[in-house]
A and B are shown apart, each in its own frame.
Chain A
Amino acid sequence: MALEERKYAAYLCKGCGIGAALNFESLAKTTRKEGKIPEVKEHDILCSPDGLEMIKNDLAEGVNCVLIGACSPRVKYEEFDFPGVLVERVNLRELVAWTQEPNEEPTQMLAEDYLRMGAAKLKKADLPEPWQTEEISKTILVIGGGAAGLSAALTAARQGYPVVLVEKEAQLGGYGAKIYKSTPTSYPYSSLVDSPVHALVKEVLAEPKIRVMTGTELISSAGQPGLLDVTVSRNGEEETFRAGAIVLAAGWRPYDASKLDRLGYGLSPDVVTNVELEEMARKGQITRPSDGRAPQSVVFIQCAGSRDPEHLPYCSDFCCATSLKQALYVRQQNPEAVAMILYKDMRVPGVAELFYKEAQSDPGVMLTKAEVTGVEPKGGKLLVKATDSLLGQNVAFEADLVVLATGMVPATADNPVLNLDYRQGPGLPDLDLFNGFADSNFICFQYETRRTAIYAAGAVRQAMRLPAAIEDGAGAAMKAIQALQHIEAGMAVHPRAWDLTFPDPFMQRCTQCKRCTEECPFGAIEEDEKGTPYYKINRCRRCATCMGACPERIVNFKDYSVDIIGSMIKAIEVQEIEDEEDPKAPFMIVGLVCENDAYPALDALAQHRLKLPPNIRFIPLRCMGSFNLVWVSDALSRGVDGMVLLGCKYGDDYQCHFAKGSELCAYRLTKLSETLDKLGLEADRVQQFQIAISEFDRLPSLLQEFVDRVREIGPNPFKEF
């Protein structure tokens, strides 16, 4: 619903200290004359019922493009949301009144530039129209019938969504159904209980909305969210059905103990893994495989192949609680037996600590920190040697049976599992960052993956115990439901979950360079048989990385495009520098900032009333991945002296909401310095910094140093042209 006849009005708020810091007469004049907005009104508190009434009266008169000069767009968004009206917020409070010296010339110039930039954007932007998709499937495919998968299936079904639960083994339940007893699942967390998975299996089998497919393998999943064509194979028979979203709960397998001969595995039959011991317990008796006798002393070696760079570098979370549980098996079977647990650190997270305390209180459960150096057979028994133990520097323990507490290897470690038909590959990308776990960004978004509408849950996502996996399944199912709802409404899914815009490329100018298809963090762009890229919009998260990647600058969103940002830059009034030694010389700097981390940091800095240099004009970007190099020439050719980019942290522990944006931006900048050198401009004029959302206190000095550096380089020589 594009706006046919545009009627503009601007509203300036004097509240929260804005009125006391700025000359409103001059602001209104600039907005009218340079911003070309005929109607400019002021109000003492614009967000008050009275102020909003004033705006709504004008809207009733036909105004449909509104410039709000007030607080940050990150606050009061409900007050200033008018359906069917294009609204542009100009942040006069946080970026001007709260962070600049009041009633100074540079402060006034800054505010007026922000109004010019806002007006420029308002002129170019348009109202979004939701993406029209064909009718989507609301079926949720759950891959894996273990604790997490069962819980996901139940949660989704009970919310009214049809579920197909695919399990490759003949029975549901996964590892949770193969254990003898579970660590306690409810208060007081002191005694062993039956596995909670058995009850879940019963509930799933009784739920009419869940179609259970055991003995079934996933062959492929094609298409895009809402419209996935899933092919499975059951007893050699293939079947294809449509699904909307996927919960990936493919689980784990134990670490291959044959790599642990250092710990005696394979050397003696009496060295077993925790999984093998569980199997013995379930069958009824724990015995020494060598002679079938019940053991009098059992040594548990924790972190067997875990937290070890040569094996699994991570902690598998469940092994400590499991060994405590199995120590109790040993004790309950034979009250004369002792169970010794040798650990690196006992890690029994959450309420399981209560179980740790309880299990430890058994007189025959003995624990010590120790670095096990080896296990060797000795006269029918086993000798476990260790150093750095609490009991002494070099110690040895005699045992009838040694149990290696081996860790979890996620199903996705070496198998794509999902078998997607993405140009970027059949599995989830870059899982090596997470040691093969189907994790995406562990800081912010649980369950998210870099494949839209596919959510990971349980031990395939992160090493965890049964209770956590059950919770995980429910969480991931909720996310899958949310994704389906958004896709149906033509809206983006997390993290831009409100966004109705979508990329709308001007394909005639596409050169098939494929940078967009390579760089899209979500694999939303495919190629047709001629090699021309096309979008599968339901996969798209609207980060606009494609817009930054495109050398032809053909990717546009209704309210975000290369042209819109360029126009904002061009709207800045660049002033002549008469005396560059003058500390107040109007050096002009454009700041392009990540709206997810750096921009909130600027707001936070303002709330703490820290000061910002008056030379910088900040423009928020959806993601630094949408940074297009042409904006540098837009700015520098207009006489802007420098450009500062504030992105989020990248690298292994990246904080980017879109996985790669900040890193891609930094990569693009490496190409820029060559160009700047050719133009005779100093590369230092354009710099990118990594800022976490919490690092607002770093910003004032960081930005001032950048301004000082630009001042040192001197004015942009293009200013005169």
Chain B
Amino acid sequence: MADEILIKPDLKFVQRIMAAGGQDAKKCYQCDTCCVVCNLTPENHPFPRKEMLQAQWGIRDVITSPDIWLCHQCSDCTVHCPRGAKPGEVLGVLRQMCIENYAIPPQLARMVGDIRFLPLLVAFPVLLLLAALKITGRLAIPEGPIVFSKMFPWWMVDIIYMAAAGFAVFVLAQGVIRYWRDINTSPWAVKLQGGVLANLIPVLQDILLHNRFKKCETTYARSLNHLLVVFGFITLGLVTAWAFVREWVFHWPGPYPFFSPFKMLALLGTALLIYGIYQIIVARQANADKAGFGTYFDWQLIYIVAAVGITGAASWLFRLTGIASLAYPVYFLHLTSVFILFFFAPYTKLAHLVYRTVAMLYARMSGRGF
């Protein structure tokens, strides 16, 4: 038989999935209830049953499957699974493996995804920022009115964060290119319809409106909460971009007056971010019994985002209230958390931003589910 596939089970891979939060994957007995209850899965070759089987057998191909990204982890499958195999959680782990697989170096991704390396993860930016302060002789709480640029001048922030973002974009870009190549070869290769750009626009539209995410039943509220966080980030991104332009083009330094439209926009963005992430935490805990608690990988991103929002808002509040001894250290923590968010983006769950977008683009172009 020409099209015969040699099945090579990989015990290590199975053990890795089980250790990373897919400990119930082996309980699946392939009844297919998950595919039936899933509102997101395409009609042909639906997920997550086949992915569960591949996870059980340790078939590594599964991590390059575009289908694992079409899942938004509604956990409807987990709720209805008669065997308690938690397909939602298992697919989450497979996505983690995918991110890990396309990151360079993969070892770094593996460390980021492992709770034992959490102190290192935090220590890196802390030491980096402390070193920067030390070198420029700013390792003290500045006197006078609180202006954060006294501690971290704009040029310093921009250099460090441009570099971090640039690194992240590079790692993600090479990952996405390799991923796109992989899904366009066997076994996923199909004839793609239409141009990339023409398809990307409707995909982005779909993402911005969370049209697919909204189809979740058990964790319906998550799509709204996630949307709040997304728009919080978009708003804050716009503000940051404007600040960048102001700084480098117009040379108008901050801080902005309280009632400036950009300050208002920044506050709105922060509020959306904090409220959204708070709701995500509450809802995840409330649903944990039926939908699964989520893995360390999930919670890591949630807490990074929460830290970014809370430290940002808190440093602003302390600045307004003039408590320098708190304002500067909190601002330091804010920069630390933002650094983690930026720098480790290709290794944390934040990478889903690009891999899911690419997978959805592929799905649209290959006629799966759009």
A binds B: yes
Give A166 to B46 CA distance when docked, in angstroms: 58
A50 CB–B CB distance under 8 Å? no
Give the docked Cα–Cα distance between A297 and B8 (Å). Answer: 10
Set B5, B26, B29, B83: member contacting A392, Cβ < 8 A: B5
- Tell whether, in the assembled complex, residue A396 and residue B11 are in contact, meaning their CB atoms are under 8 Å apart: no
Q: Which residues of A contact B18 (CB under 8 A)?
A: 363
Q: Say whether B198 faces chain A, with CB atoms less than 8 Å apart.
A: no
B272 at the interface (CB under 8 A from A): no
Query: Which among A210-218, A366-374, A600-608, A614-622 touches the partner chain?
Result: A366-374
**Assembly CA distance A338 to B59 (angstroms):** 13
Known A360-B29, A368-B53; further 7 A-B contacts with Cβ < 8 A: A336-B11, A363-B14, A366-B57, A394-B4, A394-B5, A396-B7, A397-B6
Contact A364–B11 (Cβ < 8 Å): yes
Q: Is the CB of A391 within 8 A of B5?
A: yes
Given contacts A363-B11, A366-B56, A390 and B30 within 8 Å (CB-CB): yes
Choose among A346, A363, A365 the residue that contacts B29 (Cβ–Cβ < 8 A): A346
Say what secondary structure dominates the interface of chain A: strand
CB <8 Å contact, A367 and B14 = no
A354 CB to nearest chain B CB (Å) = 11
A398 within 8 A of B: yes
A398 in contact with B6 given A346-B29, A357-B83, A363-B26 (CB within 8 Å): yes
B29 partner residues in chain A, CB cutoff 8 A: 346, 356, 360, 367
Query: Closest CB-CB distance, B24 to chain A, in whole Å?
Result: 8
Closest B residue, CB atoms, query A358:
B27
> A203: CB under 8 A from chain B?
no
B85 CB to nearest chain A CB (Å): 10
* Residue of B7, B26, B27 with most partner-chain A CB within 10 A: B7
* Chain B residues proximal to chain A, CB less than 8 Å: 1, 3-9, 11, 14-15, 18, 24, 26-27, 29-30, 50, 53-54, 56-59, 83
Most buried by A among B11, B18, B50: B11
CB distance from A132 to the nearest CB of B (A): 61
Asked if A395 is at the interface of the complex by the 8 Å CB criterion, the answer is yes
Residues of B within 8 A of A368 (CB): 30, 53, 57
* Residue A253 at the chain B interface, CB threshold 8 Å: no
Q: What is the CB-to-nearest-CB distance from A214 to chain B, in angstroms, rounded to a whole number?
A: 43
A360 contacts which of B27, B58, B59 (Cβ < 8 Å)?
Answer: B27
A558 at the binding interface (Cβ < 8 Å)? no
> How many interface residues does chain A have, given as a range?
20 to 34
Whether A361 is near chain B, meaning CB under 8 Å from some CB there, is: yes
A253 to B11, CA, bound (A): 36
In the complex, are the beta carbons of A397 and B7 less than 8 A apart?
yes
Roughly how many angstroms separate A637 CA and B50 CA in the complex, as a whole number?
Answer: 73
Tell me if A105 counts as interface (CB < 8 A to partner B): no
Inter-subunit contact B3/A393 (CB<8 Å): yes
Nearest CB to that of B26 among chain A residues? A361
User: A385 to B7, Cβ gap below 8 A?
Assistant: no
- Within the complex, the shortest CB–CB distance from B364 to chain A, in Å, comes to 26
23 contacts between A and B (CB under 8 A): A336-B11, A338-B11, A340-B7, A357-B27, A357-B83, A360-B27, A360-B29, A361-B26, A361-B27, A363-B11, A363-B18, A363-B26, A364-B11, A366-B56, A366-B58, A385-B1, A391-B53, A391-B59, A393-B3, A394-B3, A395-B6, A396-B7, A398-B6
CB contacts (< 8 Å) of A393 on chain B: these are 3
Does A708 interact with chain B (Cβ within 8 Å)?
A: no
Looking at B9, B14, B27, B57, the one whose CB has the most chain A CB atoms below 10 A away is: B9
A362 CB-CB contact with B under 8 Å? yes
Complex CA–CA separation, A385 to B54 (angstroms): 18
Chain B residues lying within 8 Å of A365, measured Cβ to Cβ, are 26
Residues of A within 8 A of B11 (CB): 336, 338, 363-364
Chain B residues, Cβ within 8 Å of A356: 29
**B26 pairs with A362, CB closer than 8 A:** yes
Distance between A396 CB and nearest chain B CB, rounded to angstroms: 5
Q: Chain A's nearest CB lies how many Å from the CB of B292?
A: 17
- How far apart sit A398 and B222, CA to CA, in the bound complex (Å)? 44
In the assembly, what is the distance between CA of A390 and CA of B5, in Å? 12
Contact at A360–B6, with CB atoms within 8 Å? no
Contact A364 B7, CB 8 Å, known A357-B27, A357-B83: no
Given A357-B27, A397-B7: A367 and B56 interface contact (C-beta under 8 Å): yes
User: B57: which of A336, A360, A391 is its contact (CB, 8 Å)?
Assistant: A391
Which chain A residues in 371-401 approach chain B with CB under 8 Å?
385, 390-398
When chains A and B are docked, how far (Å) is the Cα of A297 from the Cα of B5?
Answer: 17
Determine if B9 and A396 form an interchain contact, defined as CB atoms under 8 angstroms apart. no
Q: Which residues of B contact A397 (CB under 8 A)?
A: 6-7
- Inter-chain contacts of B15 with A (CB < 8 A): 363
- A388 CB to closest chain B CB (Å) equals 13
How many whole Å from A552's CB to the nearest CB in chain B? 63
**Smallest CB-CB separation from A362: which chain B residue?**
B26
Taking a contact as CB atoms under 8 Å apart, the answer to whether B4 and A396 are in contact is yes
Q: Are A398 and B4 in contact (CB under 8 A)?
A: no
Residues of A within 8 A of B26 (CB): 360-363, 365
Q: How far is the CB of A12 from chain B (nearest CB, A)?
A: 58
Question: How far, in whole Å, are A390 and B3 apart by their CA atoms in the complex?
Answer: 15
Contacts of B83 in A (CB 8 A): 357
On chain B, the residues within 8 Å of A360 by CB distance are 26-27, 29
Whether B4 lies near A385 (C-beta < 8 A) is yes
Whether B56 contacts A364 by the Cβ 8 Å rule is: no
Contact of A340 among B5, B9, B30, B53 (CB under 8 A): B9
Instruction: Give the residues in chain A near B30, CB-CB below 8 Å.
Output: 368-369, 390
**Which B residue sits closest to A373, measured CB to CB?**
B1
In the assembly, what is the distance between CA of A365 and CA of B15, in Å? 11
Q: Which residue of A lies closest to B17 (CB)?
A: A363
A364 and B4 contact, Cβ closer than 8 Å, known pairs A338-B9, A369-B30, A391-B53: no
The 6 closest A-B CB pairs, nearest first, are A363-B14, A394-B1, A394-B4, A361-B26, A392-B5, A366-B57
